[in-house]
Structure 1
Amino acid sequence: MSDYREENIRTLDWKEHIRLRPGMYIGKLGDGNSPDDGIYVLVKEVMDNSLDEHMMGHGARIEVTIKDNTVTVRDYGRGIPLGKVVDVVSKMNTGGKYDSKAFQKSIGLNGVGTKAVNALSNYFKVQSFRDGKTVWAEFSKGELTTASKEERSSEPNGTLIVFVPDDTIFKNFHFKLDFLDDLLWNYCYLNAGLSIIYNGKKYYSKNGLLDLLKRKANEEELRYPVIHLKGEDIEVAISHGNDYGEDLYSFVNGQYTTQGGTHQQAFREAFVKTVRDFFKKDYDSADVRQSIVAALAVRVQEPVFESQTKTKLGSQHMFEKGPTIRNFVLDFLSKELDNYLHKNPAVADILKKRIEQSERERKELSGIKKLANERAKKANLHNKKLRDCRVHYNDEPTGKNKEEYVELQNKTTIFITEGDSASGSITKSRNVETQAVFSLRGKPLNSFGLTKKVVYENEEFNLLQHALNIEDGLEGLRYKNIVIATDADVDGMHIRLLIMTFFLQFFPDLVKQKHVYVLETPLFRVRNKQETIYCYDESEKQKAIRKLGGKPEITRFKGLGEISPEEFAAFIGDDIRAVPVLIEQGEHINALLDYYMGKNTPQRQEFIIGNLKIEVDAVEEAVA
């Protein structure tokens, strides 16, 4: 055994610890292809400080520029006190948010955010403008390289942050504008009257969560006009649509809590109780919430989040000596929603009909559902389709290393594969801590236009539903990432479409909340005795041939089963290429599915013929 002596004990300084365990501070690293990759968390951490200034009544404009992977954020708040410019971005447990007089209801109180950005950036600059004077400092990977003395300035008050993420940590990264678009719009919806200028485009919301819900949902598919309620420290927008499941967007102090938390659970309970009390009927809670589209924003004093990335609220109380979050939300909805329904009987009538429709559908399903669940329980005891992992997204983190466990939960992934050969390669090369595999028997059923009854009647769909644990909504989702891993041939593409149709038809929230991905695997392996290059398309293959020169060995992978487990490990590890399945805001899901998965219409035939791609052009371009 190795010696364990005093010299084996190390104390890391702040930047070493952040760089050694970045996942504890910013979640997963990634290359920018996923909306929760670390590079977007870096932007958010800087933006959060500017938002906190705005929330305290200072600065109604924030300017954001991203060019050549350099991020610049300029706000017009009070500016960091000039004597503390270096300390605020480079000393742990230093910041204005420990003083409740300066920041009453800020997004974060632990003073870590900008330090993490600083430590994980090749270049980081902070500059404060305050009352005609300025101070700036520059860093590299957390180390101070240059700092100015106090100088005169004609610039208005505020703070400027410039950073370039470290490409040794965020490998081959790039910013996707769509993901930043969502982030900036959410900031504006939660701060009506705030202007954000991003690469010259203006983001602004006049009506807060009302605007959010109109953008997130398709107005034409809402059953009734959005109910918009505002109070001190709380804002709610509610309607019902036609999709299955619940579409909930929850926020705390301007932070989008994608994993919910105490406030979201309080809203779900309070909405059901208020509706039951109003109609004086003991409706089943699932019927009341079925197809709900809602947004909730609360402001909490000193919020407690379950991880540094602040995606789940753990606080029980709104304020130090105030009511619990549960009681606060219940009191608000009991009064305001009840008043609204009394004043708008037409809306109340539509809501009642929607609940009763869900009730009828649930009762129609009850018989088949019971039998299917009994079959699924028996199958789960010997479920050859599922090779499970040890950590799950819905586990309750406990113990001293709670944040490390949350870091693992954010990596939990289930691969949906076709056939035994593909699932065999992934199963042998996966990380058993966080990666599970679900095997399809062949091509699944095209579920478009079918009712939810098919989810229980079709054994494969039912077992998949149970593996994901989404029968009663996303609260119990067992894996954060659902990756469709099929061959890159025509049959594989078809299976992808069928699985995506299943999710969009019956569990659209999985796609809307960006849990569903498609795995990209290499089509070619080009190698000589010195080097091996994996290529994902024809143009990459041609570049690899030119790079290696001579006559390298070229292998064409026809299916995932042809890739050895040793090779496959690299494709599903830290450098995994997984493309998120995205739905445009306000997209008609039913119309979309009807076009692609419905009857073979002349319009679809014309679309296919008009969009056929010929690889010859790509090859010639690559060779040139």
Structure 2
Amino acid sequence: MLQNYSEDTIRTLDWKEHIRRRPGMYIGKLGDGNFADDGIYVLIKEVMDNSIDEYMMGFGKKIKIDLDEKRLAIRDYGRGVPLGKVIDVASKMNTGAKYDSKVFKKSVGLNGVGIKAVNALSSRFVIQAFRDGQTKKVVFSEGELVEESPVEPTKESNGTFVEFLPDESIFGEYAFKEEYISSLLRNYTYLNAGLAIHFNGEVYRSENGLLDLLDEQMTETGLYKIISLKDDDLEVAVTHCDQYGEEYYTFVNGQHTTQGGTHLIAFREAYVKTIREFFNKNFDVADIRSGIVAAVSIKIEEPVFESQTKTKLGSKDMSPGGTSVRNYVLDFVKGKLDNFLHKNQEIAEIIHKKILESEKERKAISGIQKLARERAKKVSLHNKKLRDCRIHFDSNHERKMETSIFLTEGDSASGSITKARDVGTQAVFSLKGKPLNTYGLTRKVVYENEEFNLLQAALNIEEGLETLRYNKVIIATDADVDGMHIRLLLLTFFLQFFPELVKNGHLYILQTPLFRVRNKKESFYCYNDQERYEAMKKLGKNAEITRFKGLGEISPDEFTHFINRDIRLEPVKMKKEDAFKDVLDFYMGKNTPDRQNFIIDNLVVDEEML
């Protein structure tokens, strides 16, 4: 029965109720802390942004952060919130000093929402201001004021203290991962040279800015020393590595814009234009940028982001002067990079050689590329390998961060996942048997091999990650020897030809249960022997135990749990110290005797399979 649409059905939510009912509008997806883009890390960022803004304005060179299980406290040494406005800044929407560009010229938090969202989504939220020998403290719960202290004298230095405990009724059984917090804090130090961030006894500091960022992030040695270009409002660091693809780290006013935006588009255009003019040759765009690794940080007075989570810059103008971001970046790069190359001819020669090598390889496979693209285009309308979803990552849809594609082996596994998936955000790509081992091969194989060509087309990453159609690319293979081999073959493919997909945190491994332990009343799905043991203790000796040998043995009804709310994903990460090329060479290269000896020395017999 339809409800009457009348005046009685119209409701106005107060600020905290609106945030609690629609948290995604303010912090993106929720999550329980297993992934770097989960909402609990956005809460940290919203508080940190205010402290960083103080530093950028010249107040306070230290920020102290303490994590105690689920409670997080941040203390800066800036000017401190004015004591008469402590309650307002934490609980009144559209309240803040950042509307006044004289006070905060180039800050991230411009809409007066961030810290209020943290307050509303925390079961306990404390804010205390220290200002000119006086202090005031207030305590909230779920956005409701529960305690207010009077203004009191203090001997502590100026600044602001914020403590919050995310609400488990919103985030569930969450847990902070120190590695994600550490990554977030390191980015802050790279962008604010000289700032010291103290996190649980460890001090993070950078003296060389974006140079340190690239040095930390690159998994391969650069072909030449990192080029560093900077002025008051724009900093660029760039080099090339002997790898495929393009790799960028972009920031606006200290905010990591993971999806780029106007400033990245402008830099890529400016770099190509400058290189062409310097060598006086109309090189192909792909050849100029092949293997590039760059970081771009820009400061803008009134940035306009495409969402509250500020992952993509949408600004077209910057103050003062009304100069467009595009023109500003073009003029900066053209002037500074051209000047650098004239003064450093040996680096210019290395860049020239890299371009010519890329051009030679591209021309060698141009004919194959054309045929492969035509073939992929023909099958795209009725590609039996791909069961697509309705929403894609390269769209403006509010659920685009939830998009994923499962890479499965065989029809039985893909069939179960296809029936269990969310058709709005989850796609399935079915592999036929084991893919080709691509280690040591050139980009040519991506086009010659029909399966890889179709996979590349499905992901839409031939020209780069800007058009990536799924936020998460999930390898979903059986937990047996063959499944592990297929997983390794796919990892080899992505690391060889699309390392930026891995470095930008888009590649995952699906964890599926090995056992089902059940009786007539309950069922437990166990991912390891310890979980199986615990389930057997709960259900007793008469419990039925099923070992899943493949994904195809799991029914669609059961699979629903494993790929939706209770999904377990293991992110594939690349760090400088991982030496992934050496690992690939050992496992996927031609060192057969060494590998055989390793297998023999580490062979484990599964007694249950005997």
TM-score for the superposition, normalised by structure 1 = 0.94
Separation in 2, partners of 1:202, 1:610: 42
Separation in 1, partners of 2:25, 2:596: 49
1:389 has 2:372 as partner = no
Number of the residue aligned with 2:251: 251
Separation in 2, partners of 1:602, 1:333: 51
1:345 has 2:336 as partner = no
Separation in 1, partners of 2:602, 2:25: 44
Separation in 1, partners of 2:161, 2:606: 46
**How big is each residue's C-alpha offset from its partner over 1:247-289, in whole Å with a ceiling of 9 and x where there is no partner?**
1111100011110000000000000001111111111111111
Deviation at 1:31, TM superposition (A): 2.1
Separation in 2, partners of 1:545, 1:267: 58
Q: Match for 2:497 among 502, 506, 520? A: 506
Check whether the contact 1:54–1:77 (CA below 8 A) recurs between aligned residues: yes
Q: Match for 1:420 among 400, 407, 411? A: 411
1:113 has 2:114 as partner = yes
Deviation at 1:461, TM superposition (A): 0.4
- CA 1:80 to 1:109, structure 2 compared with 1: closer, same or farther past 3 Å? same
**How big is each residue's C-alpha offset from its partner over 1:275-324, in whole Å with a ceiling of 9 and x where there is no partner?**
11111111111111110011100001111111111110000112254210
Number of the residue aligned with 1:486: 477
What amino acid sits opposite 2:492 in the alignment? T
1:524 has 2:515 as partner = yes
Number of the residue aligned with 1:620: none
What amino acid sits opposite 2:421 in the alignment? R
Separation in 1, partners of 2:28, 2:177: 18
- Please give the secondary structure, in 2, of the residue aligned with 1:17: helix
1:549 has 2:540 as partner = yes
Check whether the contact 2:223–2:350 (CA below 8 A) recurs between aligned residues: yes
Number of the residue aligned with 1:28: 29
Check whether the contact 2:460–2:467 (CA below 8 A) recurs between aligned residues: yes
Number of the residue aligned with 1:92: 93
Number of the residue aligned with 2:567: 576
Deviation at 1:555, TM superposition (A): 2.3
Number of the residue aligned with 2:130: 129
Number of the residue aligned with 1:331: 331
1:456 has 2:447 as partner = yes
Check whether the contact 1:34–1:579 (CA below 8 A) recurs between aligned residues: no
- CA 1:506 to 1:73, structure 2 compared with 1: closer, same or farther past 3 Å? same
Separation in 2, partners of 1:17, 1:374: 49
Deviation at 1:111, TM superposition (A): 1.3
- Please give the secondary structure, in 2, of the residue aligned with 1:221: coil
Separation in 2, partners of 1:432, 1:156: 54
Separation in 2, partners of 1:37, 1:182: 14
Check whether the contact 1:215–1:586 (CA below 8 A) recurs between aligned residues: no
Deviation at 1:600, TM superposition (A): 4.2
- The runs of 5 or more residues in structure 2 that have no matched partner are none
1:271-350 alignment to 2 at 5 Å?
271-319=271-319, 321-350=321-350
Check whether the contact 2:69–2:176 (CA below 8 A) recurs between aligned residues: no
What amino acid sits opposite 1:135 in the alignment? K
What amino acid sits opposite 2:252 in the alignment? V
- Please give the secondary structure, in 2, of the residue aligned with 1:25: helix
Number of the residue aligned with 2:84: 83
1:587-606 alignment to 2 at 5 Å?
587-601=578-592, 604=595
Separation in 2, partners of 1:20, 1:113: 16
Q: Match for 1:468 among 445, 459, 473? A: 459
Separation in 2, partners of 1:98, 1:610: 66
- Please give the secondary structure, in 1, of the residue aligned with 2:32: coil
**How big is each residue's C-alpha offset from its partner over 1:197-256, in whole Å with a ceiling of 9 and x where there is no partner?**
1111111111111111111114x6211111101112000011111110001111100011
Check whether the contact 1:229–1:236 (CA below 8 A) recurs between aligned residues: yes
1:403-418 alignment to 2 at 5 Å?
405-406=397-398, 408-418=399-409
What amino acid sits opposite 1:581 in the alignment? V
Deviation at 1:574, TM superposition (A): 2.9
1:2 has 2:10 as partner = no
- Please give the secondary structure, in 2, of the residue aligned with 1:100: coil
Separation in 1, partners of 2:102, 2:442: 55
- The farther-off stretch of 377-386 and 172-181 is 172-181
**Percent of residue pairs bearing the same amino acid type:** 63
What amino acid sits opposite 2:172 in the alignment? K
Deviation at 1:448, TM superposition (A): 0.7
Separation in 2, partners of 1:253, 1:603: 50
- The runs of 5 or more residues in structure 1 that have no matched partner are 398-404, 617-624
Separation in 2, partners of 1:462, 1:94: 52
Deviation at 1:586, TM superposition (A): 5.5
Check whether the contact 2:245–2:500 (CA below 8 A) recurs between aligned residues: yes
**How big is each residue's C-alpha offset from its partner over 1:474-527, in whole Å with a ceiling of 9 and x where there is no partner?**
111011111111111111111111111110000000000000001111122222
Separation in 2, partners of 1:63, 1:84: 23
Check whether the contact 2:513–2:528 (CA below 8 A) recurs between aligned residues: yes
What amino acid sits opposite 2:207 in the alignment? K
Check whether the contact 1:385–1:438 (CA below 8 A) recurs between aligned residues: yes
Check whether the contact 1:26–1:309 (CA below 8 A) recurs between aligned residues: yes
Number of the residue aligned with 1:157: 158
Separation in 2, partners of 1:98, 1:485: 48
Separation in 2, partners of 1:562, 1:432: 21
What amino acid sits opposite 1:6 in the alignment? E
What amino acid sits opposite 1:10 in the alignment? R
- CA 1:71 to 1:612, structure 2 compared with 1: closer, same or farther past 3 Å? farther
Separation in 2, partners of 1:241, 1:534: 44
- Please give the secondary structure, in 1, of the residue aligned with 2:274: helix
Number of the residue aligned with 1:270: 270
Check whether the contact 1:30–1:574 (CA below 8 A) recurs between aligned residues: no
Separation in 2, partners of 1:603, 1:54: 54
1:151-190 alignment to 2 at 5 Å?
151-190=152-191
Separation in 2, partners of 1:65, 1:489: 42
- CA 1:320 to 1:533, structure 2 compared with 1: closer, same or farther past 3 Å? farther
Deviation at 1:576, TM superposition (A): 1.5
Deviation at 1:599, TM superposition (A): 2.6
What amino acid sits opposite 1:111 in the alignment? G
- Please give the secondary structure, in 2, of the residue aligned with 1:248: strand
Number of the residue aligned with 2:62: 61
What amino acid sits opposite 1:349 in the alignment? E
**How big is each residue's C-alpha offset from its partner over 1:51-70, in whole Å with a ceiling of 9 and x where there is no partner?**
01100111110111112121
- Please give the secondary structure, in 2, of the residue aligned with 1:384: coil
Separation in 2, partners of 1:601, 1:206: 45
Separation in 1, partners of 2:457, 2:492: 18
- Please give the secondary structure, in 2, of the residue aligned with 1:301: coil
- CA 1:374 to 1:273, structure 2 compared with 1: closer, same or farther past 3 Å? same
Separation in 1, partners of 2:603, 2:29: 36
What amino acid sits opposite 1:66 in the alignment? L
Separation in 2, partners of 1:18, 1:521: 34
What amino acid sits opposite 1:529 in the alignment? K
Number of the residue aligned with 1:561: 552
Separation in 1, partners of 2:261, 2:514: 42
TM-score for the superposition, normalised by structure 2 = 0.96
- Please give the secondary structure, in 2, of the residue aligned with 1:534: strand
Separation in 2, partners of 1:44, 1:611: 44
Check whether the contact 1:516–1:580 (CA below 8 A) recurs between aligned residues: yes
Deviation at 1:551, TM superposition (A): 2.2
- CA 1:115 to 1:279, structure 2 compared with 1: closer, same or farther past 3 Å? same
- Equivalenced residue count is 606
1:429 has 2:420 as partner = yes
Deviation at 1:552, TM superposition (A): 2.4
What amino acid sits opposite 2:142 in the alignment? K
Query: Over the residues paired in the alignment, what is the CA RMSD in angstroms?
Result: 1.7
Check whether the contact 1:261–1:312 (CA below 8 A) recurs between aligned residues: yes
Separation in 1, partners of 2:601, 2:42: 39
What amino acid sits opposite 2:248 in the alignment? L
